[in-house]
A and B are shown apart, each in its own frame.
Chain A
Amino acid sequence: MSAHRLETGGRLIDRTRRVRFTFDDAPLRGQAGDTLASALLAEGRMLQGRSFKYHRPRGPVTADSAEPNALMGLDTGARAEPNVRATSVQLSEGMVVHSQNRWPSLAFDVGRIADRLARVLPAGFYYKTFLWPRPFWKHVYEPLIRRAAGLGRAPEGVDPDRYEQLHAFADVVVAGGGVAGLAAAWAAAQGGARVIVLEETGHWGGRAVVDGLVIDGHPAEAWVTATVAALEGLANVTLRTNTSLTAVHDHGYVLADEWPQDAGAGIAAPRQRLWRIRAGRVIAANGAIERPLAFAGNDVPGVMLASAVRDYAVNYGVAVGRRVVVVTNNDDAYRTALALREAGVEVAAVVDARDTLPGPLAQQVRAHGIPIHDGSAIEAVQGDIGVTGVTLCRHSGNGACVSAQIACDAVAMSGGWSPAVHLWSHAGGKVVWDADGAMFRPDPAQGPTGHDGAVFVIPAGAAAGALWGPQALADAHAAGLRAAAETGHPGHTPAPVAEAPEERAILPVWTMPEGAGPRLKSRMFLDFQNDVKVTDVELAAREGFESVEHAKRYTTLGMATDQGKLSNINGLAVLAAARGAGIAETGTTTFRPPWTPLTLGAIAAEARGELFQAVRETPMHAWHAAHGARWEPVGQWRRPHAYVRPGETPAKAVNREVLNTRQTVGVLDASTLGKILVRGPDAGRFLDMLYTGTMSTLAVGRCRYGVMCTENGFVFDDGVVARIDATTWLCHTTTGGAEAVHGWMEDWLQCEWWDWKVHVIDLTEQLAQIAVAGPNARRVLQKLGGMDLSADALGHMRWAAGRLGDFDARVLRVSFSGELGFEVAVPASQGPALWDRLMAAGAEWGIMPYGTEALHVMRAEKGFIMVGDETDGTVTPGDLGLPTGAKKADFLGKRGLERSHLRDPERWRLVGLETLTGSVLPHGAYSVTGGYTDTYQRETDGRVTSSYYSPTLGRGIALGLVRRGPERMGEVLTFPVGAASQMKARIVDPVFFDPQGGRLDG
């Protein structure tokens, strides 16, 4: 055993099982059951980290999740995890651990020069210093600060571990598996309520088992064992250790973060499991947080919270020091003196700021012959990378007169306990200042309310402000009964009765000694991780940052990874004193979720890779995949961008597909287009309101192109509408817009025109739709036999239903390519068969599939707009030369279009653009006028919305929106490209190819 491992104690470790690990490449050993921090302490490694700003040497202050100092990097490479609290991590065999924020080594750190400069690096230093000269910010200051910033190192590579999320529902969720949580759970479970109990650490019982509470006549440990066993026997109770209830959200939605242990038998548990629980009531039995005391040198490694010192001794059999001084303003810290004494560690003195006579705990300490210095304070701690001693003074003085010097190697401090009000506050619970207890506790009159208006968080035990064991237990029992009754499962069970020594009142101590001057205050740390000192908070107050929220951000108090668990209350008490205001008036900063940081892995969980998003595939997807399709995501759909043949570039494939369609025939999978059936006596009237054009007058058997606007007057979708029968229309939408259009229709029918008799159904996935386009399109279809698709039987913009070969088909004669075109819709299950038949039938004409890029090129050659390219939510139908509905009395968007700005002749409108050299304009390029705006930006008067190489024309073509565009035909615009060059393009008609439309007839 090492020098710091005690001969006795260590209730959580297994002394027979060694665990090997490395710390900064040094091989070390701990015992099974150790935390990383306890194992390091047992090995005599008190120095465990460096602070963020001044790189000061630091050791752990706590033995739990509030730890600000002992942050480590676990593992390396893809599994690396930064900023892990050594105090919360269970030691495991082969663990690889690195210290952080130090260079070249933890013991010797160059960055500590910042500490020597601390006098010139006060709060707000960065805000004040790096303002001038301006160019220095970008080239000097920012790179320097960025290199120094940040604590741990992010992992490199893809995380190889598995994370999972689990949904659960409970009547009562209990946060905290201490005696209060267990008592509350037991009480809550009696009436059959579903209860989930979550404990952050790996063991039950919390502080009571260390502090020696007696419950129902038994030591706390025995009561805990029996109660956990009893709870495990109840079918309605779920118990989880290593699971932290980390966030309480609206209406009882809570998140819990579990670090599962391996299931054994070679089955690896997920690295983390995020529980998403909907709770009827949340019992916040998450205890209290001990406050540090602010005395000079309170951050020297070896100065630790009194509760942590006894936790290490009792739970892990580790002596933090061999000669310890306890400093306190309350009775609880006397338990540390007693625990150390029992473990055989010398307690040099108890320094108590209070003048009053001792209570039972102090009497026990005195009976052991431990000297008690009452009315005293630590003037300063001696030591640099470890404590060597303390000097004492009167607490009521200014520290000028040193009364004693005591050699020691550790200091156990206690400034009292703050209820952990976080879970109460996350969803809006308010806190109230309790002057007698020197603490903020939940204000029962202002709790977070659920959907029914009832308060759904019930604080219990120490978290409610009941810090004394017997009181905490009684409070928790009542909380459990209340939660059960409020969720409809009232039950009964006798309350457990606890015994503990009486405790004397706390003396609030915010700086030690009370009247300390700047010499001492500039060495009193409030926020250990961010190096915020008493003098920094006082400076902020002097500079006018009087609001606690402003002072926090100016000083960075409470903004580190621990979110101020240790520092907030001390910091705002110092701020209140500096302002000459009370603590209650100063108030607290907001307690926001999460209680402990969540990893991105836990938040993302399975939602990565293929499971990140559901992908929609058309019935012909497998055929496309087998024929070289390069995919383009369109909404959740995957559409073939182009079918690339071996040895072909995607650009060549697109050119081939365009030319083949123009010269003979091509097929396109158009199944993703939205197909919405609108039916009913009022369907025509309804569609007239939706489209800028008129659909009610469309004859049965005919098709019409339509544009939809938002009420703002801007285009949001377009497509071909077919009149099916007297009361039925089929509306085609864009691929990405189908759900939005369907939702838009439902919205108006349900919420505005609910008396109109219209029924709407989205048929998109019911149908496979294949476009056949090109001069030979009709020949291919006719080869299938059946329906008469001749020009006389089925003219352009008409549709017919019938048998096409073996298929029940609806054939629309429409064209988005400008070629003779048909779209054939069949039941989705028939899609692949139809596709195969068309490919076989078209072989003699060299039929080829074409993808979305060829489709885009061909529609741009024809000057057809594409929603999302030519439109961006600020473009009107008039801008695009589409039907404006000027003669219609009303439609959605009509009133918006009446606004003066949307009727402005200066608006940018659709034109074609043709470069003078035939090259391709960059998509999104802006044309400049040569002038400048009021804000010294180059004045623009147009932009490129679509730009392609046209294989049909052998040159670049583009569509664009240009100020007064159609009135400026023939003008040449200048498009800057990159920093130095520019391109010239002439304004032309947007229809580049076959302006007479002769090719529509094949």
Chain B
Amino acid sequence: MLMLTCPCCGVSAEETEFAPGGAAHLRRAGPGTPDDAFEAYMFQRDNPRGVHFERWRHAYGCGKWFLAARCTRTLRVLGTYSARTTEPPADLAAEPPVDLAADLRAPAAEAPA
């Protein structure tokens, strides 16, 4: 069960406090658009192994929609940001490599007393 931080109210909470809303940054295809544009808007979804931009609503909190960049491979949440955003923020577009060496260090062992 994921942990997410709502960028509107700042609350960090469990997944059950939120409602998922599918892929983010879809461009609405309105009347008169070609069939393939409508198909892309309505049905075609990427399923990346990597960073996925997605919509969430803080349904049992402040009620606001927001967007999240989450890695589907590691489940790392790279960031959450305002729903009033039309493009993925550049700094969240790719997952920074995890510093595994840092993970393997035992920081406490060197910590000052």
Q: B103 near A490 (CB under 8 angstroms)?
A: no
Residues on A with beta carbons closer than 8 Å to the beta carbon of B30: 890, 894-895
CB A446 to nearest CB in B, in angstroms, measures: 9
On B, residues with C-beta under 8 Å from A are 1-4, 14, 19, 21, 28-33, 35, 38, 41-42, 55, 57, 59, 63-65, 71, 74-78, 83-84, 95-96, 98, 100, 103-104, 106-109, 111, 113
CB A622 to nearest CB in B, in angstroms, measures: 28
CB A496 to nearest CB in B, in angstroms, measures: 15
Q: A481 near B109 (CB under 8 angstroms)?
A: yes
CB nearest to A447 among chain B residues: B103
A429-456 interface bits toward B, Cβ cutoff 8 Å, 1 = contact, 0 = none: 0000000000000001101011111110
Q: B107 near A452 (CB under 8 angstroms)?
A: no
How far, in whole Å, are A754 and B8 apart by their CA atoms in the complex?
14
Residues on A with beta carbons closer than 8 Å to the beta carbon of B76: 449-453
CB nearest to B67 among chain A residues: A751
CB nearest to B107 among chain A residues: A485
Interface segment among A45-53, A62-70, A225-233, A247-255: the answer is A247-255
Residues on A with beta carbons closer than 8 Å to the beta carbon of B1: 249-251, 253
Q: B108 near A485 (CB under 8 angstroms)?
A: yes
Q: B57 near A743 (CB under 8 angstroms)?
A: yes
Within 8 A of B (CB), among A852-907: 889-890, 894-896, 898-899
A712 partner, pick from B42, B55, B100, beta carbons under 8 A: B42
How far, in whole Å, are A451 and B70 apart by their CA atoms in the complex?
9
CB nearest to B75 among chain A residues: A250
Known A-B contacts A454-B103, A889-B31, A895-B38; A449 and B111 likewise in contact (beta carbons under 8 Å)? no
Q: A492 near B31 (CB under 8 angstroms)?
A: no
Known A-B contacts A449-B75, A712-B42, A750-B64; A491 and B2 likewise in contact (beta carbons under 8 Å)? no
CB A954 to nearest CB in B, in angstroms, measures: 47
B108 partner, pick from A453, A492, A747, A890, beta carbons under 8 A: A492
A selection of 5 A-B contacts at a CB cut-off of 8 Å is A251-B2, A450-B76, A482-B106, A711-B28, A899-B35
Residues on B with beta carbons closer than 8 Å to the beta carbon of A712: 42
CB A809 to nearest CB in B, in angstroms, measures: 30
How far, in whole Å, are A496 and B77 apart by their CA atoms in the complex?
38
Judge if A338 is at the interface, Cβ distance under 8 Å. Answer: no
Residues on B with beta carbons closer than 8 Å to the beta carbon of A455: 103
Within 8 A of B (CB), among A438-496: 444-445, 447, 449-455, 478, 481-482, 484-486, 490-492
Residues on B with beta carbons closer than 8 Å to the beta carbon of A491: 108
CB nearest to B65 among chain A residues: A750
Residues on B with beta carbons closer than 8 Å to the beta carbon of A894: 30-31
B55 partner, pick from A478, A490, A751, beta carbons under 8 A: A751
How far, in whole Å, are A492 and B59 apart by their CA atoms in the complex?
42
Q: A754 near B106 (CB under 8 angstroms)?
A: no
How far, in whole Å, are A557 and B3 apart by their CA atoms in the complex?
36
Q: A445 near B100 (CB under 8 angstroms)?
A: yes
How far, in whole Å, are A712 and B113 apart by their CA atoms in the complex?
63
B63 partner, pick from A253, A492, A746, A896, beta carbons under 8 A: A746
How far, in whole Å, are A591 and B1 apart by their CA atoms in the complex?
18
Known A-B contacts A747-B21, A889-B31; A444 and B104 likewise in contact (beta carbons under 8 Å)? yes
Q: B4 near A444 (CB under 8 angstroms)?
A: no
Judge if A752 is at the interface, Cβ distance under 8 Å. Answer: yes
Known A-B contacts A449-B74, A449-B98, A751-B83; A444 and B103 likewise in contact (beta carbons under 8 Å)? yes
CB nearest to A900 among chain B residues: B35
Judge if A523 is at the interface, Cβ distance under 8 Å. Answer: no
Judge if A278 is at the interface, Cβ distance under 8 Å. Answer: yes
Q: A492 near B75 (CB under 8 angstroms)?
A: no
Q: B98 near A746 (CB under 8 angstroms)?
A: no
Residues on A with beta carbons closer than 8 Å to the beta carbon of B55: 751
Residues on B with beta carbons closer than 8 Å to the beta carbon of A890: 30-31
How far, in whole Å, are A889 and B29 apart by their CA atoms in the complex?
13
CB B51 to nearest CB in A, in angstroms, measures: 12
Q: B3 near A251 (CB under 8 angstroms)?
A: yes
Residues on A with beta carbons closer than 8 Å to the beta carbon of B107: 482, 485-486, 490
Most chain A Cβ neighbours within 10 Å, of B31, B59, B108: B108
CB nearest to B83 among chain A residues: A751
Residues on B with beta carbons closer than 8 Å to the beta carbon of A478: 106, 109
Known A-B contacts A492-B111, A751-B65; A253 and B100 likewise in contact (beta carbons under 8 Å)? no
Most chain A Cβ neighbours within 10 Å, of B32, B33, B71: B32
Residues on B with beta carbons closer than 8 Å to the beta carbon of A278: 3, 14
How far, in whole Å, are A890 and B55 apart by their CA atoms in the complex?
24
How far, in whole Å, are A449 and B98 apart by their CA atoms in the complex?
10
How far, in whole Å, are A890 and B95 apart by their CA atoms in the complex?
39
How far, in whole Å, are A739 and B51 apart by their CA atoms in the complex?
31
CB nearest to B96 among chain A residues: A453
Most chain A Cβ neighbours within 10 Å, of B55, B63, B75, B96: B75
Residues on B with beta carbons closer than 8 Å to the beta carbon of A896: 38, 42
CB nearest to A489 among chain B residues: B108
Residues on B with beta carbons closer than 8 Å to the beta carbon of A251: 1-3, 75
A451 partner, pick from B4, B35, B42, beta carbons under 8 A: B4
Q: A898 near B31 (CB under 8 angstroms)?
A: yes
Known A-B contacts A447-B103, A747-B65, A898-B31; A253 and B108 likewise in contact (beta carbons under 8 Å)? no
Which 6 residue pairs spanning A and B have beta carbons closest together? Answer: A481-B108, A485-B108, A453-B76, A253-B1, A485-B107, A449-B74
Residues on B with beta carbons closer than 8 Å to the beta carbon of A484: 108
Within 8 A of B (CB), among A170-202: 191
Q: B84 near A754 (CB under 8 angstroms)?
A: yes
Residues on A with beta carbons closer than 8 Å to the beta carbon of B32: 895, 898
- Taking A428-B75, A899-B35 as known contacts, 8 extra A-B pairs with beta carbons closer than 8 A to each other, sorted by chain A number, are A191-B108, A251-B2, A445-B100, A451-B76, A482-B108, A747-B65, A750-B64, A899-B38
How far, in whole Å, are A490 and B112 apart by their CA atoms in the complex?
9
CB nearest to B111 among chain A residues: A490
How far, in whole Å, are A251 and B76 apart by their CA atoms in the complex?
9
B28 partner, pick from A482, A485, A752, A889, beta carbons under 8 A: A752
Residues on B with beta carbons closer than 8 Å to the beta carbon of A252: 3
How far, in whole Å, are A594 and B61 apart by their CA atoms in the complex?
31
Q: A895 near B14 (CB under 8 angstroms)?
A: no
CB nearest to B12 among chain A residues: A451
How far, in whole Å, are A765 and B38 apart by their CA atoms in the complex?
38
Residues on B with beta carbons closer than 8 Å to the beta carbon of A750: 64-65, 83-84
How far, in whole Å, are A454 and B103 apart by their CA atoms in the complex?
7
Residues on A with beta carbons closer than 8 Å to the beta carbon of B96: 453
CB nearest to B100 among chain A residues: A445
A746 partner, pick from B35, B65, B71, B106, beta carbons under 8 A: B65
Q: B108 near A895 (CB under 8 angstroms)?
A: no
Q: B38 near A481 (CB under 8 angstroms)?
A: no
Residues on A with beta carbons closer than 8 Å to the beta carbon of B14: 253, 278
CB nearest to A493 among chain B residues: B108
Most chain A Cβ neighbours within 10 Å, of B30, B84, B113: B30
CB B13 to nearest CB in A, in angstroms, measures: 10
A453 partner, pick from B19, B59, B74, B83, beta carbons under 8 A: B74
CB nearest to A888 among chain B residues: B31
How far, in whole Å, are A428 and B75 apart by their CA atoms in the complex?
10
CB nearest to A710 among chain B residues: B42
Q: A711 near B42 (CB under 8 angstroms)?
A: yes
How far, in whole Å, are A884 and B64 apart by their CA atoms in the complex?
31
CB B88 to nearest CB in A, in angstroms, measures: 14
Most chain B Cβ neighbours within 10 Å, of A492, A746, A751, A890: A751
Residues on B with beta carbons closer than 8 Å to the beta carbon of A481: 106, 108-109
How far, in whole Å, are A619 and B77 apart by their CA atoms in the complex?
44
CB B58 to nearest CB in A, in angstroms, measures: 11
How far, in whole Å, are A444 and B74 apart by their CA atoms in the complex?
15
How far, in whole Å, are A472 and B109 apart by their CA atoms in the complex?
17
CB A432 to nearest CB in B, in angstroms, measures: 14
How far, in whole Å, are A269 and B9 apart by their CA atoms in the complex?
40
Within 8 A of B (CB), among A227-270: 249-253
